[in-house]
Amino acid sequence: MRAGHWKDVRSEDWQSLQWQLRNLIRTPRRLAELLELPAGEAAAVQQLEKQFRFAISPYYFSLIDCADPGDPIRRMIVPSSLESSGGGSHDPLSEKDDRVAPGLTHRYPDRVLFVVTSFCSSYCRFCIRKRNWKTSDAASTRAEIDQAVAYLRAHEEVRDVLLSGGDPLTLPLDQLDYILAQIRSVKHVEFVRIGSREPVMLPMRITDDLLRVLDRNGSPWINTHFNHPREITEEAAKACEKLARTGIPLNNQTVLLAGVNDDIATMKDLVRRLLGIRVRPYYLYHCDPVIGASHFRTSVWKGVEIIEALRGHTTGLAVPTFVVDAPGGAGKIPLTPNYLVSAAPGRVVLRNFEGVILGYSDQDSVAPSAASHSVTDVAQSGGQPLIPLGQPHYERRNERKP
């Protein structure tokens, strides 16, 4: 897939990682050559460049529909004056508060986040680690990596290490190899995950050399980061296939972004296509309050509404867990539509994916069908509440009715 700007580039060059990196779009001037910017936007981009990093791979840029100012890919990657509208913090998840060694955040009981670079081949406008774009707190030297690994060795409760960044798959291969080998040498670490958007924004990165490094280090799990169905191109699918063939389990994390994927049809298309390339939708994140990203934030209810529209309406494997990462480092909180309406001794009242409300015996003693309420009941109840069954005082009231 290539837009007109690069139609004359030889296919070998286009598919080459080195060519893509040599031709990164990284100046407002180059951006203005490729994209018509509305009045005032060019100046805004110049200003934003001083505040936030900016780079786009030609491959990822080619996914933009340049004729559409509201194009979702464009919204995710091209700087916008909306980023100056205020709000948000540099470290919305307070990762630095739980920093225990260079790049290492230890928040959950048995797992750690290990930030190993601040570099990405393209920079997302909604990134939660913009703080690293100015002053990196990643473990980037051997001494820093060794210090972090020493912490892992000393903490036997840690069994899961998530490498993140920046994008760990942009690291020089000898450095990635070193980090993975060091972590694997810690006996109690059972598995390693890598968070990467390279399969999405620069699938040419998934080279045979990279696969060899991953393979000899036990094929760590990879969390991809597809946000929109149009990111699932032939190239991205091929990259994921290569990873899967190397024995790497692939899960996807999506961020819920206003104007990008905050509608049911887009999200349904995304999760179905992800399964089509053997990537399991894992998390749907509510967009965190990071600086420069307030225009991407939706209501929390939007995420719940999307899950409601997926659960039962498409394959269960395609339904991610919707989570809000709580401020102050309180961790991920899963939010789901409420399917358990109420509970009473021996009985619960449930709601199915179609909105049908029904009683369900908890003890095999009562037939569930006898207890069902449906949306029709609600509509016909004349505004009266649907009373959970098994509540003695309501049953007594009913008996007293004439």
> Of 45, 104, 120, 267, which one interacts with ligand SF4 (CB under 6 A)?
120
- Which residues in the 137-196 window bind ligand SF4 by CB under 6 A? 165-167
Contact status, residue 114 vs residue 163, Cβ threshold 8 Å: yes
To the query of whether residue 66 is one of the catalytic residues in this protein, the response is no
Contact status, residue 273 vs residue 261, Cβ threshold 8 Å: no
Residue 56 or residue 183: which is nearer to ligand SF4 going by CB? 56
Residue 120 or residue 270: which is nearer to ligand SF4 going by CB? 120
If binding is defined by CB under 6 A, does position 79 make contact with ligand SF4?
A: no
To the query of whether residue 325 is one of the catalytic residues in this protein, the response is yes
If binding is defined by CB under 6 A, does position 123 make contact with ligand SF4?
A: yes
Helix (H, G, I), strand (E, B) or coil at 257: coil
To the query of whether residue 111 is one of the catalytic residues in this protein, the response is yes
Residue 62 or residue 117: which is nearer to ligand SF4 going by CB? 117
Neighbour tally for 24: CB within 10 Å: 18
DSSP code at position 228: S
Q: What is the 3 state secondary structure string of 24-53? A: CECCHHHHHHHCCCCCCHHHHHHHHHHHCC
If binding is defined by CB under 6 A, does position 124 make contact with ligand SF4?
A: yes
Rg (CA), the chain: 25
| Set 53, 74, 111, 130: catalytic member | 111
Which pair of structure tokens corresponds to residue 32?
């203005």
> Of 107, 111, 129, 297, which one interacts with ligand SF4 (CB under 6 A)?
129
> Of 197, 205, 297, 302, which one interacts with ligand SF4 (CB under 6 A)?
197
| Set 71, 137, 167, 325: catalytic member | 325
If binding is defined by CB under 6 A, does position 228 make contact with ligand SF4?
A: no
Identify the CA nearest to 285 among candidates 116, 121, 89, 128. Answer: 128
Contact status, residue 347 vs residue 359, Cβ threshold 8 Å: yes
Residues annotated catalytic, as ranges = 107-108, 111, 120, 124, 127, 129, 288, 325, 332
Interface residues with ligand SF4 (CB under 6 A)? 120, 123-124, 127, 129, 165-167, 197
